[in-house]
Structure 1
């Protein structure tokens, strides 16, 4: 009998189906993000026009709303809290552990670990990123690149929130025939910190819930869960 090869086709020959399969997680969340953003724009536009009508002002078009400070600040305040969540989680899990949680490293592995454990320099394997192989500042930067980028996005989106937030706040002040305030004054205003902290507390609660509930609860087949039969005290074990 003729033997047919069962080898997997190279990535470049897999076509669209292979691309979707290999990138399903990123594609799913990108599509759902865009749908949620579109829904927010439509609902926010309707709510904003309701406020304008209440104030006996002319409603605006969807295009005008999408370029307004009100829409921008609503988006930015959510983005900054999400990236703060990831920034803190990535950073503190280097050193802090949670017994029994798959979101934690094993109890004895706290810290940045050795070059051998991190597979850098002389311990780098075939296919390792170039900056993981070399030493000096390039390896130092690459070793913390995820944290640095998450932190930069957080700070940038928080800055955007403050700039668009003061613009939106001042528009409301003028509609109510009150004096506008400066950007520096807005940084100490209740409106800025109310927008900020109401998002921070929800993100921090979500991370804490995930870290603790995953000690005792399971989801079969998910890498965010321990194997169903793992002991509650098993730490750093993923299914």
Structure 2
């Protein structure tokens, strides 16, 4: 068990933090939702009812949507673009291991199965990381729209107005405001780490260059 925890500590720590903050989102969102319900003279909701509501779905997936978009774009952009001096960039002026054509790689027992298989399987596999993020982005985008349409329709009903379909909700400024306000913050965060990692360091972090490394050195 100790070996397992050491080998997977980074993943496990992030999953634990994710679950903790998701629970926090559910509980705090539930209280906020009921405060709004009481302010409008409507019945309060149970926690179970809230986490299956459009309000909670919208709140969660509009954030997931931006995270997966950010990471998908980051994977693709770092494949083709460079930033001199940044630990987030491939090195300039020399071949990077990531650019190696897997079709010319020496195959051994530990080589991933898709590389051994070749053909269309390898073609899919060599772009599978970005594909995963964009698929998750698309699913989150859809669920954000579904949850948002349900929540928006509930608000409309409380004011005696007709509800909307998912397609109609996609045409509202509210949906795009929710999306853009999250998207812009994600790319700002990426720009900050790309630029800051040129001059600043974090000892022991894989996201930083060695502390004594010159500013102009590019790559991890």
TM-score, with structure 1 as normaliser: 0.88
Residue equivalent to 2:178: 195
Corresponding residue of 2:19: 34
| Residue-pair matches, total | 219
Contact 1:84–1:151 (Cα < 8 Å) also in 2: yes
Distance 2:50 2:100 in 1: 52
Query: Aligned runs of 1:44-83 on 2, under 5 Å?
Result: 44-83=29-68
Q: Can you give the 5+ residue segments of structure 2 that lack an aligned partner in the other structure?
A: none
Q: What is the aligned-residue RMSD (CA, Å)?
A: 1.6
Q: CA deviation at 1:130?
A: 1.4
| Residue 93 of structure 1 pairs with residue 78 of structure 2 | yes
| Pairing 1:97-108 to 2, within 5 Å after superposition | 97-108=82-93
Runs of 4+ in 1 over 6 A off after TM superposition: none
Q: What is the 5 A alignment of 1:170-185?
A: 170-185=153-168
Larger Rg: 1
In 1, the alpha carbon distance for the partners of 2:83 and 2:108 equals: 30
| Consecutive unaligned residues in structure 1, runs of 5 or more | 1-15
Q: Give TM-score, length-normalised by structure 2.
A: 0.95
Give the whole-Å Cα distance in 2 for the aligned partners of 1:131 and 1:172: 49
| Structure (1 or 2) with the greater helix fraction | 2
Map 1:66-215 onto structure 2 (within 5 A).
66-108=51-93, 109=95, 113-115=99-101, 119-215=102-198
CA distance in 2, matches of 1:49, 1:98: 48
